[in-house]
Amino acid sequence: MPRSRFDELAAIAQEHDGLLTSKEARDAGITDSVLARLTQRGRLERVARGVYRLPYFSPDRLSQYREIVLWAKGNRGPEAVALSHLTALALYGISDANPDSIHLTVPKQARLRRQIPRGVVIHREDLAPGDIAIEEDLPVTTVGRTVVDLLQSGGRIDLIQQAVRDARRDGLITDAESRRLLRQVEAHLRALRENRQRETQNA
């Protein structure tokens, strides 16, 4: 029995916990008009521009992250994207980070033609391949890169230090990398103190 267009979409979506992009559909020879028709009939649910969900797939704790990654990559978007900053800590399960927003890093020159979904913070940085790891089948900045990003963005030092210790405990980084990152945090703190002292002297 030949498969319907919906069956073809379902096969694609099963690889992403019930999510698919309009680009994936077009690559499979399924037009935007077919997606629109299936959405009108309630067989698909549009969760963001260019991203659809099969309604009978129950969202899990990672679905919101998958949606944002697919949203960024959809419609000829950049490939080198990664969940980052506090979101990376939450994905790794290190520290007590509980971000209100989803942080995503995209290339500096990336064109995101679509409106940024509510609750998403976009950071622009050209990540090297070694800056991106795969966690829970999602692209996420490595622990080392995440520490650098959080220091540069003024993240809480106690959370960063806790994240490094937790990452070592969980085997995500080596002893050597743990020591290097903690030294980096201490150097950052010294630089902040020296800047404050200079500002006080010049006031």
Per-residue pLDDT of the chain (203 residues; tens, 9 = 90+): 346 777 788 777 777 778 888 888 888 888 888 888 888 888 888 877 778 888 877 777 788 898 899 888 875 667 889 999 999 999 999 999 889 999 999 999 888 766 788 899 999 999 999 999 999 889 999 999 999 999 999 989 999 999 999 999 999 999 999 999 999 999 999 988 888 888 777 76
Q: What is the pLDDT of residue 93?
A: 94
Q: What is the pLDDT of residue 74?
A: 74
Class of domain 63-202: alpha beta
Q: What is the pLDDT of residue 2?
A: 45
Q: Where in the chain is the domain with CATH 3.30.460?
A: 63-202
Q: What is the pLDDT of residue 76?
A: 67
* H helix runs in the chain, sequence order: 5-13, 22-27, 32-40, 63-73, 85-92, 143-152, 157-169, 175-202
User: Does pTM top 0.85 for this prediction?
Assistant: no
